[in-house]
Amino acid sequence: MLYPTRGWSAHDLPDLSGRHVIVTGATSGIGLETAVALAGAGASVMVTARDPARGNAARTRVRRAAPRAEVEVGALDLADLSSVRSFAAEHRDRPLDVLINNAGVMAVPPRRTADGFELQMGTNHLGHFALTGLLLPALLRAKAPRVVTVSSVMHWWGSLNFADLMTERRYDPWVAYARSKLANLLFARELGRRAAAAATNLASVAAHPGVSRTNLFQVGPQMAGRRATGVVMRVGTALLAQSARAGALPLLRAAVDPELSSGDYLGPRGLGEWRGRPAAARRSANSRDDTAARLLWDASEQLTGVEYRFACR
Ligand SMILES: NC(=O)c1ccc[n+]([C@@H]2O[C@H](COP(=O)([O-])OP(=O)(O)OC[C@H]3O[C@@H](n4cnc5c(N)ncnc54)[C@H](OP(=O)(O)O)[C@@H]3O)[C@@H](O)[C@H]2O)c1
């Protein structure tokens, strides 16, 4: 149970020296701010990037903020399972204290991943499902491993249709996004349940950044060639959204707060969870559906070919 206090901030990060963290999608927005704060607290941070130039720019930015921190860049494209497998193969031997499943795309036009999955379900959920399963040996080598999975208030609009998990019938970019963010929460829930059933000390915590000014709002309009929508989004987020640094706080707290355990879900506590300091977030009934969580897990194993082996400590 989470008891909000005066308002958690990055000043509450403990000394993270000796802790190793991987942040997916750390080239911009919430992921980059999360990496900066964790490195500033002394963690060794791996930022993942699908574009090496953007990865190097992120490393430079993190190093500028935390000159003494160990910062590496790992090549990872979550929309390509072969890339997920190569990344995990390279990094599964080193004990991993925290994995932050943050990368994502929102409201993109109908597109497929390299493996033929709808792009949002494929990147936001299935890529992270495969990554976490393949990095499980590294997580189980850490003393108190934690997986943080990033969802959204948009999950409230999501419901899964297992006969059409890829939203092939009547594709709607926002419906597909909401489903992928619901999948993130169901995954976090089922991961925590399975980790506990296997008597591991892995904690699975979810978080969302409220509404934060990031590139997320530009990617869909850019891919669809809709400049006017991009401008509306830019103006809207400039007026209404909090900074990416503030949006990173729920992820940071989810990564380090010792009071948290599997099943907890954090988000900003003010104004409909759009902005503010991190506290317990509200979740939809669909995100608490244990049957759906199990069905999604089975479907994700089948689609990705990744099976979780909790016994490989
Ligand atoms: N911003 C918000 O208001 C908001 C609200 C709710 C939830 N979220 C969630 O917060 C998370 C971070 O988003 P953000 O707002 O920080 O957006 P962002 O600035 O666009 O960052 C998204 C990150 O994901 C990476 N990414 C996209 N596709 C990828 C792929 N196929 N493989 C690997 N990395 C990929 C991007 O890398 P590139 O640099 O290569 O594009 C970038 O680093 C997402 O999960 C999003 O759903 C954001």
The dihedral region occupied by 284, where left means phi > 0, alpha psi between -120 and 50, and beta the remainder, is: beta
State residue 287's pLDDT score.
98
| Ligand 1 atom nearest residue 79's Cα | 31
What is the average pLDDT value for the chain, to the nearest integer? 95
Taking the model in full, what pTM does it have?
0.96
Handedness of CA 113, 292, 99, 276 (dihedral sign): positive
Q: Give the mean pLDDT of 160-166.
A: 95
3-state secondary structure of 125: helix
Probe residue for ligand 1, chosen from 24, 30, 119, 218 as the CB with the greatest number of ligand atoms within 8 Å: 30
Is 92 within a domain?
Answer: yes
Q: How many domains does the chain have?
A: 1
| Ligand 1 atom nearest residue 154's Cα | 6
Q: Whose CA is nearest to atom 27 of ligand 1?
A: 104
Q: Give the mean pLDDT of 170-195.
A: 97
The contacts of residue 171 (CB under 8 Å, 6+ apart) are: 110, 118
User: What would the two tokens of residue 108 be?
Assistant: 């993109």
Interval 240-297: pLDDT, tens: 899 999 999 999 999 999 999 999 999 999 989 999 999 999 999 999 999 999 999 9
| Ligand 1 atom nearest residue 124's Cα | 45
Is 250 within a domain?
Answer: yes
Is 3 within a domain?
Answer: no
Pocket lining for ligand 1, CB < 6 angstroms = 25, 27-31, 50-51, 54, 76-79, 102-106, 123-124, 150, 152, 208-209, 211-212, 214-216, 219, 247
Please tell me the distance between residue 225's alpha carbon and the centre of ligand 1 in angstroms: 19
Question: Among candidates 270, 176, 157, 153, which has minimal Cα distance to 223?
Answer: 176
Is 6 within a domain?
Answer: no
Question: Is pLDDT of 4 > 90?
Answer: no
Cα 192-198-199 angle, rounded to 5 deg:
90
Question: Among candidates 103, 128, 138, which has minimal Cα distance to 31?
Answer: 103
Is 7 within a domain?
Answer: no
Probe residue for ligand 1, chosen from 111, 216, 219 as the CB with the greatest number of ligand atoms within 8 Å: 216
What is the domain-level CATH number for residue 136? 3.40.50.720
Q: Whose CA is nearest to atom 17 of ligand 1?
A: 216
Please tell me the distance between residue 3's alpha carbon and the centre of ligand 1 in angstroms: 29
Please tell me the distance between residue 29's alpha carbon and the centre of ligand 1 in angstroms: 7
Q: Is 3 a catalytic residue?
A: no
Question: Is pLDDT of 1 > 80?
Answer: no
Interval 193-230: pLDDT, tens: 999 999 999 999 999 999 999 999 898 889 989 999 98
- Which residue type occupies 202? L
Please tell me the distance between residue 311's alpha carbon and the centre of ligand 1 in angstroms: 32
Please tell me the distance between residue 92's alpha carbon and the centre of ligand 1 in angstroms: 23
The residue segments making up the domain with residue 224 are: 14-302
- Which residue type occupies 223? M
Is 152 within a domain?
Answer: yes
| Ligand 1 atom nearest residue 216's Cα | 20
Contact 209, 250 (CB under 8 A): yes
